[in-house]
Amino acid sequence: MPKNPRFPPKPRRIEILAFPGVQLLDVAGPLQVFATANVIATKSGGAAPYDLQVVAPKGATVTTSAGLGLVTAPLPRARSTLDTLLVAGGAGVRKASTDKALVKWVQGRAAQARRVASVCTGAFLLGAAGLLDGKRAVTHWTECKELARRFPAIHVEPDPIFVQDGAVWSSAGITAGIDLALALVEQDIGREMALAVARHLVMFLKRPGGQAQFSVALSLQSAEDRFGTLHHWMSHHVGGDLSLPVLAQQAGMSERSFSRRYVEATGQTPARAVERLRVEAARRLLSDTRLPVKRIAARCGFGSEETMRRSFVRTLAATPQDYRARFSS
């Protein structure tokens, strides 16, 4: 239990924006994290750190994409103070992001907030409000390309669980909103409270493996029919020679035919797939062992520590040393 939580003089106001067709867990997941922090704080004799409210246009009962109704409050006045505006996602976000009045409200409300965050496809509503222009952001892995297409000014990163760029946060698909909320609690009150909340909810404070939305092996499963055997072989030979000639030979194709068909099946080049597999293998070793970075680079087939560093920065926007400092057990 936190001994000296960093509570402000009064509770931090957090508003979670919902709309018809909102994803239930996008709202309920973060809401429960903040509510649990309140419970833990009050049980230890302190004040509740958060003032929570789910809001929606007209304050009507909002039907989620799961069919469950959420009781909401009307949209507050744009000039009233708040700490955090959190925008949920869901099937209804497309319509919500074309609602000019709602987009204008988000813009005004964000201007009053200390920070703004989106869960899953809530990033589209932040994008429509211009709040992600020039910033790094993430959304559900199936929607990253669409987010980048619709809002070219956003630097979309498809891999992270959540992204912080200044006072703007965004999270990946659905349950990643819980990871994001835990990170916000940690920023507000401290690691001890965030860990207490995670334990109460029987979940990890930080997911094993850290940042990736899903494993590289999982992301390649769409091509299992054609390249499943090859991917299995690659994952067991990350430290070996995975050059184009070797992969083409392993697949029983010419290099030119293999390159073309591989991109068609996976949406990425063989070189990119190899890099991501090696980064994932290195991430596991950085998180779970104390092996020197140089040895990990050699074991994972990078050839040199500098090559691995460049791959990490390109893939995760973090150096191997930074990654280990954040995610090692």
Active site residues: 120
φ/ψ of residue 70, rounded to 5: -115, 130
What 8-state DSSP symbol labels residue 161?
A: S
* Cα–Cα distance for residue pair 239/258, rounded to 1 Å: 21
Structure tokens at 103: 């987009």
* Cα–Cα distance for residue pair 149/156, rounded to 1 Å: 10
Nearest to 300 by CA among 289, 284, 315: 284
Strands 50-56 and 73-74: parallel
Helix (H) or strand (E) holding 55: strand 50-56
CA-based torsion, 244, 245, 251, 252: positive or negative: positive
Structure tokens at 221: 């499963």
Nearest to 324 by CA among 294, 298, 288, 275: 288
Helix (H) or strand (E) holding 209: none
Number of other CB atoms surrounding residue 259 within 10 Å: 17
Q: Which residues pair with 85 in a beta bridge?
A: 15, 116
